Amino acid sequence: MEAVADSNRAIELDPSMSKAYFRKGSACMKLEEYQTAKAAFEAGAALAPGDSRFAKFIEECDKCIADEMKDTQKSAPNASQGTVLPSVGSRSSDSAAVTVKDTKQTQDTSQHALDKPKYRHEHYQKPDEVVVTIFAKGAQSKNVSVEFGEQILSVSISEDAYHFQPRLFGKIIPEKCRYVALSTKIEIRLAKAEGIHWNSLEFTKDNLVPQKINVSSASERPTYPSSKSRAVDWDKLEAEVKKEEKTEKLDGDAGLNKLFRDIYQDADDDTRRAMRKSFVESNGTVLSTNWKEVGAKKVEGSPPDGMEMKKWEY
């Protein structure tokens, strides 16, 4: 259980970490939570397509899920078994014991009614969906009811008088949501209506849904969380770095290359075409910015003083 919890925390901190999904899937397989494990492996495979381990474990999960479904179909209760009644002679001798037993059963029944079962549940998310798992071992699928609203999930298990109906953190698409009831758990997939990260499963006043940020001016540029006490404006920092690169003075070939690069970057389309054509056709010996001059003819090579142009035959 600790491994699953650690993996969920790692995924919340960095949803793009494929290793966290692999660790979660491995931990869930050890707990025989194969549907949850498969979903984790699928999420990891989408992030790391070249990792063959995910495909192998997804195939293993499919086999285990198929076996689990077979066991569920075979586990239907046999209600046709009769009750063996004691003989007349034994009834009188055991009457006191029966009275005590009946009283105890009545008390146990009353206590059971008061202590309704509370099943553990957990969730994890992917960019387009949230997967909720309710660990209701032994619950019959015919007694399980799951309904989806715009921002409501309702789960009921009639045989145990269990009801779970949270208001969700974000909105969902009910027609795209689905669930499956297995012998050990109920797995529910909620299709997100918006591509936002859910900070929790349930909505609270202190946990508002994040809104998209519209940056209209330099003074409203977003800042990002940091372990430092001072907030860092990364957009401003990037602009400063670009300014330093533009004003940086280099010597020799580096300075010449920077000059040509700056000219090309700030030039219009005709100037860029002229620079490309002259440089390629002259084998790097001529660089012209005049398209009218070089556009209508081939640019011949012009080697530096003291050097000679030669053509190589292959």
180 and 128 belong to one structural domain: yes
The answer to the question of residue 146 being in a domain is: yes
Mean pLDDT of 150-161: 84
- Predicted TM-score (pTM) of the model is 0.36
pLDDT tens digits, one per residue of 292-304: 888 888 888 877 7
Q: At a CB cut-off of 8 Å and minimum separation 6, what does 9 contact?
A: none
Instruction: Reduce the secondary structure of the chain to three states and give it as a string.
Output: CHHHHHHHHHHHHCCCCHHHHHHHHHHHHHCCCHHHHHHHHHHHHHHCCCCHHHHHHHHHHHHHHHHHHHHHHHCCCCCCCCCCCCCHHHHHHCHHHHHHHHHHHHHHHHHHHHCCCCCCEEEEEECCEEEEEECCCCCCHHHEEEEECCCEEEEEEHHHCEEECCEECCCECHHHCEEEECCCCEEEEEEECCCCCCCCCECECCECCCCCCCCCCHHHCCCECCCCCCCECHHHHHHHHHHHHHHCCCCHHHHHHHHHHHHHHHCCHHHHHHHHHHHHHCCCCCCCCCHHHHCCCCCCCCCCCCCCCCCCCC
CB atoms within 10 A of CB 41: 27
| Whether 198 and 275 share a structural domain | no
- Note the pLDDT of residue 262: 75
- Asked if the structure places residue 66 within a domain, the reply is yes
- Residue 312: what pLDDT? 60
Would residue 108 count as lying in a domain? Answer: no
pLDDT of residue 266: 78
- Which of 153, 186, 208 marks a domain boundary? 208
Token pair belonging to 300 = 């011949």
Find tokens 């990002």 and name the residue.
Answer: 224
Given 157, 177, 208, which residue is the final one in a domain? 208
Same domain, 188 and 122: yes
Closest CA relative to residue 53, chosen from 23, 12, 28: 23
Rg (the chain; Cα; Å): 35
pLDDT tens-digit series, residues 201-260: 988 777 655 554 444 444 445 544 544 445 556 677 677 776 776 666 666 666 667 777
Does 172 reside within a domain?
A: yes
Does 265 share its domain with 204?
no
96-122 confidence digits (pLDDT tens): 444 444 544 544 444 444 444 568 889
CATH of the domain at 191: 2.60.40.790
Domain CATH for 28:
1.25.40.10
Measured on CA atoms in the order 11, 42, 163, 206, is the torsion positive or negative?
A: positive
Separation of alpha carbons 40 and 150, rounded Å: 25
Asked whether residue 288 is domain-assigned, the answer is yes
| Residue 128 resides in a domain | yes
| Number of structural domains in the chain | 3
The region of weakest confidence among 34-43, 165-174, 263-272 is 263-272
pLDDT for 265 equals 77
Q: What backbone torsions phi and psi does residue 144 show, to the nearest 5 degrees?
A: -95, 130
In angstroms, the first-to-last Cα distance of the chain is 68
Beta strands 153-157 and 129-134, pairing class = unpaired
Distance between CA atoms of residues 187 and 132, nearest Å: 6
Q: Please, are residues 131 and 119 in contact by the beta-carbon 8 Å criterion?
A: no
Question: Has residue 94 been placed in a domain?
Answer: no
What is the band of 87 on the pLDDT scale with cuts at 50, 70, 90? very low
Range of the domain at 259: 247-294
Give a yes or no: residue 43 inside a domain.
yes
Q: How confident is the model at residue 89 (pLDDT cuts 50, 70, 90)?
A: very low
